[in-house]
Amino acid sequence: MKTFDAMVGVSGGVDSSVAALLLQRQGLRIAGLFMQNWDDNGDGECRAEDDRRDAVAICGKLGIPFFARNFAREYWAGVFEHFLAEYRAGRTPNPDVLCNREIKFRTFLDEARALGAEKIATGHYARVDHHQGRYRLLRAIDQGKDQTYFLHALGQEALAATLFPVGELPKAQVRDLARDAGFAVHAKKDSTGICFIGERDFREFLGHYIPARPGPIRAVDGVTLGEHAGVFYYTVGQREGLHLGGVKGRPQAPWFVVGKDVAANVLYVDQGHDSPYLLSTQLHASGPSFTAGHPPGMRFACTAKTRYRQPDETCVVTVQDDGTLHVQFEHPQRAVTPGQSVVFYDGEECLGGAVIDHTDAPDAAQFR
């Protein structure tokens, strides 16, 4: 029996709070559900208790029922174990994509239905419409806040059951609505990064699960320049944290990570923001997921991005016989990183994406 029109995933932040406000103003019967996805053992780094109190306060102000569920076990099995496996393999995973698919739009959806809700709603900046017999994932009105990159793995069932109320508004208006409604969270800082890491040092956190193993930092010509703290801690294109400074006999130019040899425990670097070792015109990706349930064709033109804040780039995607994807870009792309997602667009519609396996950038480990 339907008890609620929508169950709002309330996080204690301004976006989910305004999402609930907007749905209530539309006359929908709503409730709020707070998801705890990580057990922080009381260290408070994820601010879970503070966020929970804010979520309770918002639901109280709106006069709607409040529910809370702990999905930490599901998060560990569905997201965190994969996160660790990818780092052990020398890749750089994007846990937010998995979290959305496995937790926020599957586990949460199942729980919402069990509580009698017809749909779920979140504070994500995205839109959904129904066009020619299928649901489409569309970019948010506020292009600077658009989150479709992280939502690209959602399929038809999830899109059909999801509302994104703030996707129609610019962020500034969302904060204005929260302030006018008297929400104490109207000026609350946006959450960034991965919740289970919080404000902790990333290397220290990861070191609890993958012990650090220092090794050599080498230039692409094979010359050893210094020592790294552990190849798992670095990602392609990274400049910070190398501690190389001026290197005798080398130009006074910054160094960037251009490759990792996990088996040999070697980190490779090169100078220049646009080093040829950082530029790719092609990539191979696996585990594709398309919002329509299938690709637009076995070969199709679109635009794509290989990281969240990156502008779209024109490309051609070819579906291989084994279901993996080959992507050919019109212009070289910088620091395309295995483990991250390549996400495809047709105008305002997000078509889906896949996990980057490798690119055609030169192999920085060729001198080993």
Cite the active site residues.
99, 195
Ranges of beta strands (E only) in the chain are 4-9, 30-36, 66-70, 117-121, 127-131, 134-138, 162-163, 215-219, 224-228, 255-261, 266-271, 279-290, 299-305, 313-319, 325-334, 341-346, 349-359
Question: Residue 72's closest CA among 34, 117, 115, 124?
Answer: 34
Distance CA 232, CA 92 (A): 8
What burial class does residue 6 get, using C-beta atoms within 10 Å of its C-beta: 0-12 exposed, 13-18 middle, 19+ buried?
A: buried
Give the angle 164-165-167 at the CA atoms, nearest 5°: 70
Give the Cβ contact number of residue 116 at 10 Å.
13
